[in-house]
Structure 1
Amino acid sequence: MTQTISPNHDLARRLREERLIGGLQHFVGGQWVASSSGETFDTHSPVDNAFLTQVASGDAQDIDRAAQAAHEAFRTWREVSGAERRRILHRIADLIEARAQEIAVLESIDTGQAIRFMKSAATRGAENFRFYADRAPGAGDGQSLPAPGFINYTLRQPIGPVGVITPWNTPFMLSTWKIAPALAAGCTVVHKPAEWSPVSATLLAEIMDEAGLPGGVHNLVHGFGESAGKALTEHPLIKAIAFVGETTTGSHIMRQGAETLKRVHFELGGKNPVVVFDDADLDRALDAVVFMIYSLNGERCTSSSRVLVQEGIYDEFTARIAERARNIRVGDPLDPETEVGPLVHPRHFEKVMSYFGKAREEGATIAAGGERVGQAGNFVSPTLFTGARNDMAIAQEEIFGPVLTAIPFTDEADALALANDVKYGLAGYLWTNDLTRAHRFAQGLEAGMIWVNSENVRHLPTPFGGVKNSGIGRDGGDYSFEFYMETKNIAISLGTHKTAKLGVGQAPKVDKTVVEG
C-alpha cells in the first residue's frame, strides 16, 4: 500500500480536532440538539477502524421533533417565491465550493474513498444545487389544456415535508442530489444519513444554515435504520420518502410507508453489465471498464460489475483488465496518488471478502486480486474473476466492491440474454462501432440508463433511475419535481356548456305501503 504523507493529513488532523472531537448532533428546527434519549453511537475510520467520533443516536421521538419542525416550516417555505429559493440555493452552492477541500477530506476520512474522487464529489454537490436553484422559479409551472367550453390549466405544488434517507457511499454528493430538488420544489426535509458515514451530512446542514435556509426547512437526524429510519418512513406528517440504498431495505421502507400511503422514490442495487463487442475501440473500452468498477472503491450503484466480452477477444481483453487491476494503487485515501482506498466498514469488508471463496467454489478463476491488502483497516485488492458463468453468485449478486466478473458471449442475442438475466436493471454500458446494433441492443437492454461507447457521464437534465429491482421513479431535471410535487388541474368554464337538469319535473307519486313494507 502507498503511504505518502500529503498536506491532506495536516488538514485532516485539524478537522478532527475542530469538528469531530465534540461529536455530531442532530439539527432540528434550526438548532443543534442531542438525542432525546441521550443515546449515542461511535463511528470509526475505515483506514484502521480506530474511533473517529461519537454521533447522536436518534429514535422515534427525535424523528417526531424533526417532522413537526418540517411541518411547521412548510407552511411558510411553500409560499417563498421561486426567485428567493433560487437565491438561497445558489448561496448554498457558493459555500460548498468555498469549502470543497474540507468536504473532500472529511468525506475521505469518513468513507475511505480516495481524495482524488472526493474533490469532484464536492464540486458535483455544488452543481446539483445550482442546477435546481435555476429551476426553482419554474418549479410550479404547468400546461394550458383548452377544451370545448373550458380552459384547463395545470400547476404543480410541493407535496409537503419529505424524508430523505441517503447511503454511505459518496454521501455528500448523493445527499445534495436528493435535497436540492426537494428544496427547489418548496418541500421541507428530514434527512436521515447512513450511520456508517454521518460526518458530511453534518457539514451540509451547517452550510445550508449559514446560507440562510430558514429553521425547520432542513432537519437532520442521525441514527440507525431500524429506529430512526423506520420512524421516519412511518411518520404521518412525512408525505414521501426518497431513498438510496440496498434493494432489501427499499422493500422494507415500502411496507413501512404503506399505512400512511407514502409516495416513494427508490434508487436501489445494480449488477450492471458492460458489453464489449469485437468491433469496439478496445483501448477506450478498457479504460472505461477499469474506471467504472475500480473507481470509488467499486462502491457505487452504477458500477459496471459484469463485463461481457465477445469470445474472440475474451482472453486478450480480460488479460489486459487483470494487468491494469494489479497496477492500481491501493492505500491511504488521503494520499493524492491512491486510486482505491479501504472499504467503508468491517461488515462490508467481510461481505466483499466472502465472494473470493464463493468464486473458487463455483469454478471461476481469480485472475487478479482476491485478497486482503495489509493487516489493518478494510483494504481489498482490485479483483477480476474470469471463466465465470452468469448463474454464479459472483454474476448475480451485488458485491459492491472493487470486484469485476468477466463472462464470454458468442453473438448479439447471447450478449443480450446474459445482460438481462439478473434481477437488477439500473445501468448498462455498450461498446461497439456498429451504429445499428448499438441502437437495437440499447433498446433491448433492461436498464433505466444506458451509455454507448462511454462510461457513466451524467447530464443533469436527463432521467436517472432503474427498472426491475433497481428502483422506482426518476431523478434529474423536471423528473425530480414529478416526485416532490403534486400536479393540479383547474378547469374554468366559459359558460357555454349545458348541464343536465335533475328535479325540474313533477315527482311521481310513490306508494307508501310498498316503500314502508
Structure 2
Amino acid sequence: MKQQNFINGKWLTGEGYKRDIINPSTEEILETVYEASSKQVNQAVDAAQAAFDQGIWNSDPLLRAKTLQKIADKLETQSEEFAVIETENTGKPIREARLDIEDTVGCLRYYAQLIKQQKAEEITQWDGSISQVRNVPIGVCALIVPWNFPLLLGMWKIAPALAAGNTIVFKPSEVTPLSMIKMTEIIDESGMPEGVFNLLLGDGKAVGEKLVIHQNVSKISFTGGTETGKAINEQCSRTFKRVSLELGGKSPLLIFDDAELNLAVEWAIFGAFFNQGEVCVASSRILVEEKIYPALLEKLVEMTKNISLGDPLLDDTEMGPLVSENHLKKVESYIQTGLKEGATLVTGGKRIKEKGYYMTPVIVTDVTSEMDIVQEEVFGPFCVIQTFKTEAEAISLANGTKFGLAAGVLSADVVRAERVAARIQAGTIWINSYHTPFVNAPWGGFKQSGLGRELGPQGLASYSEPKHINVTQQVNKLGWYSS
C-alpha cells in the first residue's frame, strides 16, 4: 500500500524517498514505504495548525478522554497483530513486543483518566481579585521517536500531547514505521477531528529537520541520540520553541557484596541485554563490589552464553537480531575499539546465522573509566564490568560519564541502597530491580541525557503552558493620578 502518510484526516502517497523496510531476522523486505516530501511536511503542519485554531479538540476535555479510551480499547483487541508487526520490524522477541503493546494501552488509559482530573487553580488575592491558573495546550507539537520501541515510545508522546489538547505531527523512525502506520488506522477510526493527528514518514534530514525549523511548530519532543538532541535544542533556542529531549545513556548497575549472587546475575543480564541491549537505559556498565567479582563474573558469563538467541517470533526466544546491518556493524566496531584500548573480550560478539543481524551478547572486562567503550553509548548487547572497593568509589564510578538517564542498585541493605541512590545523578534509579517504567512516574535524564520528563503528571505538564487570568468583578476607581 502506497498511502502511508496521514495528513488532515486523509491517507496520502508519500512524494519523497521510496524505502524498503527490512525484517532484521530474515533480511527480507517487509514493505516498501513512500516517505513525505517537503511540501507534505508543510501540509501536515498547516493541517495541525488549522485544527488547533478551530478549537474543537483543545476546548473539549471530555472528547479527548473519550477518544483516547476508544483508541486504547481498539488497540487492546488487536494486540497480537501489533506485537507481530513490532517483532518483524524491530527484531525484538515476541514476548517483549507483547509487553510493549500492553504498556501502550496502559499509557493511553492513564492519560485518558488524567484529563478528567485537571482543574484550574483559583487563588484569592489580597485585593479581592481571583487569580485563575490554567494549563493550556501549546499548539502544534512535532513528535520524533527512535526505532527501538516504535509504538510504546510513540505513545509516551502522543497520549499526553493529545490529552493536553495539542495537535500533532508525528514522525516515526524511518527504519521501523510499520506499527505506527497501523496505529494511525485506529486513530483514523476513532472520530478524532481532522488535522489533530498527522503521520509523516521519512528520515531526520528530509522530514525531522524541517519540522524542527518550521515556524508553526510550537514544540518539539525528540527521543534519540545526544548529538542530534544538541542540534535540535540549539535550533529551537533561536525562536524559544518549546523542546523536550530524551537522549542517550550509559547507565550503571551497582552490585554490592550482600546481594544474592544468582539473582544479581539474572538482573544484570536483564538490565544489559533486554531488547538486545537496544534500550536507552540499558545497564551497559555493571559495577561489582570487588569481593564478589570473580564468582559473579563466572556466573554472568555462563548465563549469558545460555541466552536463547534466534527467531524472535518464537515464544521461547530470549534475544533476537539487532535492528539493521549498519547497527550491527556499529556494535562490532566498539568491540574492536575496546580491544585496541586494552580491554578483554570475555564472551560474545559473534555472528551466528547466515541470514539476519544476529550477534552473541558481549561482556568486556579490564576496562578503565577513560575508555570510549565505558563513556560512549553502544546501544546493543554490549556491557562492560568494573569493580569497586567502597561505597564512595561505586558512586564516583556511577557518576563518571556525561550521561544521567538511569541506574540500578542491588543490595540486601535497602537503607544503604537508598543512600547510594540519593547520590547518583540519574533520572530513574531502581533498587533491587531494573528496567520497568511506570506510566504514573516521570521518565527522563540528568546531564546530557536530556531535558524535561515524559510519563506521569510531568509528562502531561510538558505539553502545556500555565496561563494566569486575574479577575476583578468590576472596574473600580484607581486614584493613582492627581488629575
The TM-score bracket by the shorter chain reads over 0.9
C-alpha distance in 2 between matches for 1:438 and 1:192: 40
Matching residue of 2:206:
227
C-alpha distance in 2 between matches for 1:497 and 1:272: 60
Q: Is residue 455 of structure 2 the alignment partner of residue 476 of structure 1?
A: yes
Q: Is residue 281 of structure 2 the alignment partner of residue 302 of structure 1?
A: yes
Deviation of 1:79 after TM superposition, in Å, equals 4.2
Deviation of 1:84 after TM superposition, in Å, equals 1.9
C-alpha distance in 2 between matches for 1:438 and 1:399: 27
TM-score of the pair, normalised by structure 1 = 0.90
Matching residue of 1:5:
none
Q: Is residue 446 of structure 2 the alignment partner of residue 442 of structure 1?
A: no
Report the residue type matching 2:33 in the other structure.
V
Q: Is residue 223 of structure 2 the alignment partner of residue 253 of structure 1?
A: no
- Give the counterpart of 2:364 among 351, 370, 385: 385
Which piece of structure 1 moves more, 189-198 or 353-362? 353-362
Equivalent pair of 1:58/1:224 in contact (CA under 8 Å): no
Report the residue type matching 1:60 in the other structure.
S
Which piece of structure 1 moves more, 196-205 or 384-393? 384-393
Q: Is residue 395 of structure 2 the alignment partner of residue 425 of structure 1?
A: no
Q: Is residue 85 of structure 2 the alignment partner of residue 73 of structure 1?
A: no
Deviation of 1:377 after TM superposition, in Å, equals 1.9
- Give the counterpart of 2:30 among 41, 52, 62: 52
Deviation of 1:496 after TM superposition, in Å, equals 11
1:262-284 deviation line (CA, Å, top 9, x unaligned): 10101100000000011123332
Q: 1:126-145 counterparts in 2 under 5 A?
A: 126-139=105-118, 141-145=119-123
Equivalent pair of 1:92/1:207 in contact (CA under 8 Å): yes
C-alpha distance in 2 between matches for 1:375 and 1:24: 34
Report the residue type matching 1:50 in the other structure.
E
C-alpha spacing 1:423/1:38, structure 2 compared with 1 (3 Å)? closer
1:191-226 deviation line (CA, Å, top 9, x unaligned): 011001111110110011112222211100001101
Matching residue of 1:3:
none
1:396-443 deviation line (CA, Å, top 9, x unaligned): 110111111110111011111111010100001011222332222111
Q: Is residue 178 of structure 2 the alignment partner of residue 181 of structure 1?
A: no
Matching residue of 1:148:
126
Equivalent pair of 1:77/1:217 in contact (CA under 8 Å): no
Matching residue of 1:325:
304
C-alpha distance in 2 between matches for 1:192 and 1:488: 29
Equivalent pair of 1:82/1:138 in contact (CA under 8 Å): no
Deviation of 1:454 after TM superposition, in Å, equals 1.2
In structure 2, runs of 5+ residues without a counterpart are none
Matching residue of 1:273:
252
C-alpha distance in 2 between matches for 1:317 and 1:159: 50
C-alpha distance in 1 between matches for 2:439 and 2:194: 28
Equivalent pair of 2:256/2:411 in contact (CA under 8 Å): yes
Bigger radius of gyration among the two:
1
Report the residue type matching 1:55 in the other structure.
V
- Give the counterpart of 1:337 among 309, 316, 321: 316
1:225-266 deviation line (CA, Å, top 9, x unaligned): 011001111111111011111111111212332343210101
Q: Is residue 265 of structure 2 the alignment partner of residue 286 of structure 1?
A: yes
C-alpha distance in 1 between matches for 2:314 and 2:445: 34
Which piece of structure 1 moves more, 60-69 or 436-445? 436-445
Residue aligned with 1:62, SS:
helix
Q: Is residue 263 of structure 2 the alignment partner of residue 263 of structure 1?
A: no
Equivalent pair of 2:58/2:137 in contact (CA under 8 Å): no
Equivalent pair of 1:24/1:199 in contact (CA under 8 Å): no
C-alpha spacing 1:215/1:408, structure 2 compared with 1 (3 Å)? same
Equivalent pair of 1:318/1:386 in contact (CA under 8 Å): no
- Give the counterpart of 1:63 among 41, 58, 65: 41
Matching residue of 2:20:
42
C-alpha spacing 1:38/1:364, structure 2 compared with 1 (3 Å)? closer
- Give the counterpart of 1:216 among 171, 192, 195: 195
Equivalent pair of 2:58/2:166 in contact (CA under 8 Å): no
C-alpha distance in 2 between matches for 1:48 and 1:23: 23
Residue aligned with 2:345, SS:
strand
RMSD: 1.7
Report the residue type matching 2:99 in the other structure.
S
Residue aligned with 1:145, SS:
strand
Deviation of 1:500 after TM superposition, in Å, equals 6.2
Q: Is residue 145 of structure 2 the alignment partner of residue 166 of structure 1?
A: yes
C-alpha distance in 2 between matches for 1:322 and 1:23: 47
- List, as ranges, runs of 4+ consecutive aligned residues in structure 1 with deviation greater than 4 Å: 494-500
Q: Is residue 67 of structure 2 the alignment partner of residue 88 of structure 1?
A: yes
In structure 1, runs of 5+ residues without a counterpart are 1-21, 506-517
Report the residue type matching 2:147 in the other structure.
W
Deviation of 1:178 after TM superposition, in Å, equals 0.7
How many residues are matched?
A: 481
Matched-pair identity in %: 38
TM-score of the pair, normalised by structure 2 = 0.96
C-alpha distance in 2 between matches for 1:93 and 1:79: 20
C-alpha distance in 1 between matches for 2:200 and 2:303: 42
Residue aligned with 2:121, SS:
coil
Residue aligned with 1:344, SS:
coil
Equivalent pair of 2:57/2:64 in contact (CA under 8 Å): no
